A and B are shown apart, each in its own frame.
Chain A
Amino acid sequence: MYPSKDRIFAAIRHRPVNRVPKGELCIDDAVVKQELGCGSVGFEERLEFVDRLGLDIICLSPSYPDPRVIPEPGDIVWEDLDRWVADTPFFSFAVIDGVFGWGVRTLGFKEFLTLPARSPLSLADLVKKVEALNVELSGRLAGRGIDGIIIADDIAYNRGLLTGPKIMREYFIPSLARQFEKIAGKGVSVFFHSDGNYNEIIPDLIRIGFQGLHCIDRNSGMDVFKLQQAYGEKLCLWGTLGSDDLARAADPVYFNDLLENIRLLNSRNGFILGTNSGLFKGIDLGRLIEIYKSVG
């Protein structure tokens, strides 16, 4: 009675669901090829793969003509977006990149991370450009019927924020707030993704209004239970499976504990299960499927 889309809507609204909602942020072609034994990966193959895993979400990542150059909005493609939206029962998320992503790709890590100290004007300019691009893109995506948008930006690593909260609050948070306002105004759900430990700015993200967070990496000090306790009514938490969970779940005791913890998180509503890293070559897919099937 709960089709995929409703299940995710329910999770976002913190209502009970009849099955643990599941979604993956990205799925590498190589993983699909290996699982299905197919030579190339198109819409049909992805559909079969997503079905096989029992996912409720389809997450569409953008392709850029040249990832090192900020493109014109019209040059960005989310493959098969219209088919996913019209012909499949999944909750559809489109990923858009944030300022860190663009900064790192266009300038390199060092140059981007030293920009606030060395060239604040160029940083302000970059922020403005990415913001304008994202607002334009989200308008187009909403017009095509997308259900949700994820602003994906790795602002942290396992020990904390890549750059201090002062700079975050001077440049990035205000821009995220403006983006959120315009995107949410189009009637879509808006999530934020970052790797690593970004505990320090979660209150800022809540104040902005984000409905959910992706990638709750326990190994980076993101304690999913504490987060649920502190912010569970305001945020839908998505992720939390790490590759070490997959390795350790070979042990039946760990496996059962894991399932129990997932069910507990789910019972408190506002939870979506998924890996933190997405599915990339080398991941233990067999074990992941086992977890997905067993947890219900």
Chain B
Amino acid sequence: MKDDLIIAMADLDEERALALVKEKLKAGETAFEIVEQCRKGVEIVGQRYSEGIYYLSDLIMSEEIFRGVMEIVEPHFPQEITEHGTKIIMGTIEGDIHDLGKNIVTYLLRSVGFNVIDLGVDVPPERFIKAIKETGASILGICVLLTFCIGSIKKVVDLLKETGLRDDVVVVLGGYPVNQLIKEYTGADYYANDAARGLEIFKQISLEKDKRR
């Protein structure tokens, strides 16, 4: 496997990345192989971001390129595949419309194969519960940037308890104000203030769930 596509993704060279994807499809590489190369490129982007070489706009650029790639390769996937990965419900809590961070995390999770159901922003606690019931998802990601919306996250966790779902669902918080104190106050299981750490947590949870199964 040549690493030209990995490099184009890592260097955020949109034109070249999209052209390479088309070439590779023509040359007979599978959609999986192509997405895997892109994922490796995205990983490098993530690293460079963590090291302060790349900035938020670069992460967003990589998200955009990845979206373009997915548009090209999606028709080449077997039908059920995109629905396959571990399900995660994701959303920004009620009262809060900040979604830049949530979208990045969602994109990174999708790029490593999770099936993320994004409920959007300003999501009332009841909607989270409804989505969990409907989809059977056992991981819940909640994004919050406004400190005074934290109470609503506690409500989500309380509702999980009331409906008997608490033991089946892992709750991960993310966003500007979250910390150990807020994790404890809301009763959530994990928290992350950056996407890389968030991704690690989700991977770990998913691994453990697989083991238990």
Which residues of A pack against B, CB within 8 Å?
A: 109-110, 113-114, 116-118, 157-164, 167, 219, 243-244, 247, 282-283
Q: Count of chain B residues with Cβ under 8 Å from any Cβ of A?
A: 22
The closest CB in chain A to the CB of B56 belongs to A162
When C-beta atoms are compared, the residue in chain B nearest to A164 turns out to be B55
Q: How far is the CA of A19 from the CA of B121 in the complex (A)?
A: 42
B61 contacts A282, C-beta separation under 8 Å: no
Contacts of B100 in A (CB 8 A): 109, 157
Contact B194 A243 (CB under 8 A): no
Answer whether residue B64 sits at the interface, using C-beta atoms and an 8 A cutoff.
Answer: yes
Q: Which of B12, B55, B56, B146 contacts A282 (CB 8 A)?
A: B146
Complex contacts, A110 vs chain B, CB 8 Å: 60, 63-64
Known A-B contacts A113-B60, A117-B14; A162 and B55 likewise in contact (beta carbons under 8 Å): yes
Question: How many angstroms between the C-alpha atoms of A117 and B63 in the bound complex?
Answer: 13
Chain A residue numbers with a CB within 8 Å of B149 are 282
B residues neighboring A (CB under 8 Å): 12, 14, 52, 54-58, 60-61, 63-64, 95, 100, 146-149, 176-177, 193-194
Q: Are B147 and A244 in contact (CB under 8 A)?
A: yes
Residues of A within 8 A of B55 (CB): 160-164
Are B54 and A159 neighbours in the complex by a CB distance under 8 Å?
no
B52 & A160 in contact (Cβ 8 Å cutoff): yes
Identity of the chain B residue whose Cβ is nearest the Cβ of A166 in the assembled complex? B55
**Which of A118, A160, A161, A162 is within 8 Å of B14, CB to CB?**
A118
| Contact (Cβ within 8 A) B54 A164 | yes
Q: How many angstroms from the CA of A282 to the CA of B147 in the assembled complex?
A: 9
A163: B residues at CB distance < 8 A: 55-57
Q: Are B194 and A283 in contact, CB atoms less than 8 angstroms apart?
A: no
Contacting residues, chain B, for A159 (C-beta < 8 A): 56, 194
